[in-house]
Structure 1
Amino acid sequence: MTLTSATDVAVRADGVVLRYGRTTALDGVSLSLGTGVTGLLGPNGAGKTTLLRVIATAVRPDAGSVSTFGHDALRGPGRLAVRRRLGYLPQDPGFHPSFTAFEFVDYVAILKELTSRSARHAEVRRVLALVGLDSVRTKRIRALSGGMRQRVALAAALVGDPALLILDEPTVGLDPEQRMRFRELFADLGEDRAVLLSTHQTEDVMSLCREVVVLDQGRVLFTGTPTDLAGLAAGRVWTSDSRVPGALASWRTGSGAYRHVGDPPPGAPLLDPTIEDGYLTLVDLHTAEAQR
């Protein structure tokens, strides 16, 4: 069963805490995911991958709860029920290099309890075709490019038409054309299911996501639309003919003018903020508060 409306809640996490020794990877994370694509942004080390692993039932937190499709995703029968409706693309899929693309996806299909050989093989061919790998399905994974390996991993995540997709940096290693095709695919997938997409590509978030969550130092800093996130930098983006010392970010654009993010000087020509400007502003403010 897939989700059917924007009001459906696929995942609800409440007060999730996870520690590795003295390091707190997740510090009271609460969020909910519904139908559509939700983007997860944050600096390296913010806890994004850890959060995805918790939601994907790969690791159990020290405290808090996770409910997925009404099941307790952290324990026994509920966790098994969630896994049957879940597609997960981790950062490192752990390929066996001697497998062909078909064999790897078929192996994942067996783990997902597709027991009928003919039906399973038809499903494997379907998902490989969906990611554009039908012509190389008999090639060994070690002979494939990095981008093709990423697509094999995505095909494995799509086996069984899951109602919840968790994707950790799915466009890494893809060229611009492939990334555009994947955006189209993710947008289609998000029409009737929940997709949680972790990425460093803010343009992917702006193009795809109905909601965006920003995580930093294990805490949720922001939840809202991409437009709302961009709006956090309203009045803080300006242009000039030279670099301005003290700006949060400053770079020379292709036109030769400089674009700045930060506190503009009086009378500076303001520019419309992007989601990247809002993200930089949000993380900078949080860092400044943490240092006080």
Structure 2
Amino acid sequence: MNTLKINNVSLVYNNGYQALHAINLDITNGVFGLLGPNGAGKSSLMKTIVGLQKPSEGELFFNGTDIVKTPLEIQKQLGFLPQYFGVYPKVSAYDLLEHLARLKGIHNKKERHDQIITLLDKVNLTDAKNKEVHTFSGGMKQRFGVAQALLGDPKIVIVDEPTAGLDPEERNRFNALLSEIGEDIIILLSTHLVEDVRNLCSQMAIIKQGNIVAEGNPNQFINALHGKLWQKATNKNELPKLEPNFKVISKQFIEKVMHITVYADACPTGFQAVVPNLEHAYFTHLNSAT
């Protein structure tokens, strides 16, 4: 079992901006979702975990090793799948993985070959191994990205906004792949998309303005909202009168009609009960956080 312990980590940049405020997380094997809006501090935390920047305060331990003092210890066991990545033109999937494997220090030719063939099979790209990667569809590129991230048998993989631009079929295939991989390693999923966390993660944390405002199991978040959410159809003239009087969770159009969802212990007049989902939980914690 792999373990990542983040103890009281804060980060202040040279210009005085505090990007992280006393972050505490314990993460083990599986897909862990770090969910938050753009600018919440997700990238700052990821860069701190992998040793690209040192925290101003706090400690990080990976499998018992202090990775603030020795960041190479996590970097040697790290895979990374960015949201977007460029590839060399006119280079096949196999040849590009061969090149990346050399860069990752896999010097034995047979070991490189065996690992590449195994990974191409795992991500269902064996039939495309001789095709140029730049010709791949979005889903194929993301699956290739998983293969390159798994070169060298990493113990922790960081995935940044992985399903952006994928169609539903490709998204489902990709999610199944990540779920399978996450049984044996830590996968840190950094995203602002609630759907990704709902589909993949057994544990999650919500981050806002550099603070962890909630942490736990997605189902626990949802269950805590049962009997607390209420919705009604409204219009732009009525909305300004409602907002000051209620704890508004979300506003959304349903069949061209604006609906407002509020949090309350009892059903307000004119509202109806709503079955909560993870998006409701996300906005509840974001709007509750100061």
Q: Is the 8 A contact 2:19 2:209 kept in 1?
A: yes
Report the Cα offset of residue 31 of structure 1: 0.8
Task: Specify the SS of the correspondent of 1:280.
Answer: helix
Partner residue, 1:25: 19
Task: Specify the SS of the correspondent of 2:231.
Answer: strand
Q: Is the 8 A contact 1:46 1:217 kept in 2?
A: yes
Task: Specify the SS of the correspondent of 1:91.
Answer: coil
**Counterpart of 2:273 in structure 1: which amino acid?**
L
Q: Is the 8 A contact 1:25 1:217 kept in 2?
A: yes
Q: 2:5 aligns with which of 3, 8, 12?
A: 12
Superposition pairs of residues 103-142 of structure 1, within 5 angstroms: 103-142=95-134
**Counterpart of 1:250 in structure 2: which amino acid?**
K
**TM-score, L = length of structure 2:** 0.84
Task: Specify the SS of the correspondent of 1:88.
Answer: strand
Separation in 1 of the partners of 2:89 and 2:36? 31
Report the Cα offset of residue 222 of structure 1: 0.9
Partner residue, 1:285: 288
Task: Specify the SS of the correspondent of 2:142.
Answer: helix
Report the Cα offset of residue 84 of structure 1: 2.8
Separation in 2 of the partners of 1:175 and 1:59? 35
Provide Cα deviations, 1:104-144, integer angstroms capped at 9, x if missing partner: 32233223321111220221222233223333333334333
Separation in 2 of the partners of 1:49 and 1:205? 17
Report the Cα offset of residue 89 of structure 1: 1.6
User: Gapped runs of 5+ residues in structure 1?
Assistant: 4-8
Q: Is the 8 A contact 1:25 1:50 kept in 2?
A: yes
Cα separation, partners in 2 of 1:151 and 1:71, compared to 1, 3 Å: same
**Counterpart of 2:277 in structure 1: which amino acid?**
T
Deviates more, 1:195-204 or 1:238-247: 238-247
Separation in 1 of the partners of 2:262 and 2:117? 48
RMSD value over aligned CA atoms? Answer: 2.6
Separation in 1 of the partners of 2:110 and 2:139? 28
Deviates more, 1:131-140 or 1:106-115: 131-140
Partner residue, 1:184: 176
Partner residue, 2:149: 157
**Counterpart of 2:65 in structure 1: which amino acid?**
H
Q: 2:160 aligns with which of 163, 168, 171?
A: 168
Partner residue, 1:45: 39
Report the Cα offset of residue 98 of structure 1: 5.2
Q: 2:30 aligns with which of 32, 36, 40?
A: 36
**TM-score, L = length of structure 1:** 0.84
**Counterpart of 1:23 in structure 2: which amino acid?**
Y
Partner residue, 1:276: 279
Partner residue, 2:211: 219
Partner residue, 2:229: 237
Separation in 1 of the partners of 2:84 and 2:253? 35
Q: Is the 8 A contact 2:234 2:260 kept in 1?
A: no
Task: Specify the SS of the correspondent of 2:273.
Answer: coil
Q: Percent identity?
A: 34
Separation in 1 of the partners of 2:37 and 2:150? 27
Task: Specify the SS of the correspondent of 1:109.
Answer: helix
